[in-house]
Every structure is written in C-alpha cells, then in structure tokens.
Structure 1
C-alpha cells in the first residue's frame, strides 16, 4: 500500500521574511493586507503579516507567491483541505 502523503507534496520557501513561495495550494479562503487564509494538500495554512500581497497564483500547479512583511506561517487542521460551508463555520 502506498503512503497517501507521498503524493501530497508541499514546499514553503521564505526569503528574508519578505517573499514566501508555497506549492500545493488547493483553495484560497480569504485574504487582506494582514492575513491570508488558504488550503493546501496538507491542510489549512494561514500567513500573517503587514502589507501582504499575492503576487502570483497558478490554479493549474497550485503555486503561490506572497510578498510583504511576513510575521507568521501557521498550519491549522490537517484534515481540512477545502472550504467549509457556512453552516460548518458556525460550529467550528
């Protein structure tokens, strides 16, 4: 039996706390200049900072580049890999 995570690759490259490259993106939940919430093949991911900008995003490859003053990269629930319905958000 093949390990499920072997096909779920994700890379995060942070350069000088100013540029962040992420692969394995499946969906973007919300974004503003202080927080970007997204879903990856390995679960939820939140990027916090100041003056955050999504410079590029490819829906075909799941790659994203974020620039700004990056303060934190936080993993959330590993089991959540996509958006939740409005009812699901109430009980979260």
Structure 2
C-alpha cells in the first residue's frame, strides 16, 4: 500500500476507449460516486473522474479491479484524493455539511 494515496500501486492501470462511447478500466479500487453525467473511481493511479452524458456502469468487478462504462464520454481527469476527500473543503466535505 502507498500511504500517500492509500491505493495499491502494484495494480496496473489501463484505460481503453472505443469511439468515445465505451470505456474499459483496470486498476480500480473503489467507485466513489456515479450518476449519468459523472463517474468518480478510486484507482491505483489516483482518483479518476469521467464526465459525459447518459453514462452507465455496465460491468463492475472490484475483486479484479475492472469497470466497464458506456455513454457519451466527454472528459477523463486524474486527481489526487485530497481534492475530493479532505479537510480543506473538498467535494465530499462540502456535500455533507
């Protein structure tokens, strides 16, 4: 375990996108949140935010670290965990005030 991020850095991280409509991701540790416009995943490389329209998680296997998402993909962004979960007013701390 990497204490800095709290994720298992031994897992390989791979992302495959087909025609901006289908995405397969490996190295996923957890699904932080999801709706039809945003999916936030905790991965071996940090938090991964996927934005789009009509997003659906089709396959989810956290034991293997695999996720499959369909929909219109608009953006894929990595961030450090502290941007989402933190004392300084991150996303979740604002949400649960």
1: CA distance, partners of 2:49 / 2:87: 16
Task: Say what the alpha-carbon RMSD is for the aligned residues.
Answer: 2.1
Instruction: Quote how far apart the aligned CAs of 1:89 are.
Output: 5.5
More relative contact order, 1 or 2 (CA 8 Å, 6+ apart): 1
**Unpaired stretches in structure 2, ≥5 consecutive residues:** 1-7, 91-97
1:62 and 2:65 are equivalent in the alignment: yes
TM-score (norm 2): 0.75
TM-score (norm 1): 0.79
After superposition, the C-alpha distances for 1:9-47 in whole angstroms (9 at most, x for unaligned) are 100000000000000000111100000011001100000
2: CA distance, partners of 1:55 / 1:61: 15
**Unpaired stretches in structure 1, ≥5 consecutive residues:** none
Alpha carbons of 1:89 and 1:57: their partners in 2 closer, same or farther (altered >3 Å)? farther
Please list every run of at least 4 consecutive aligned residues from structure 1 whose deviation after the TM superposition is greater than 4 angstroms. Answer: none
1: CA distance, partners of 2:61 / 2:87: 27
Instruction: Quote how far apart the aligned CAs of 1:90 are.
Output: 5.3
1: CA distance, partners of 2:87 / 2:70: 28
**What's the secondary structure of 2:40's corresponding residue?**
strand
2: CA distance, partners of 1:30 / 1:89: 19
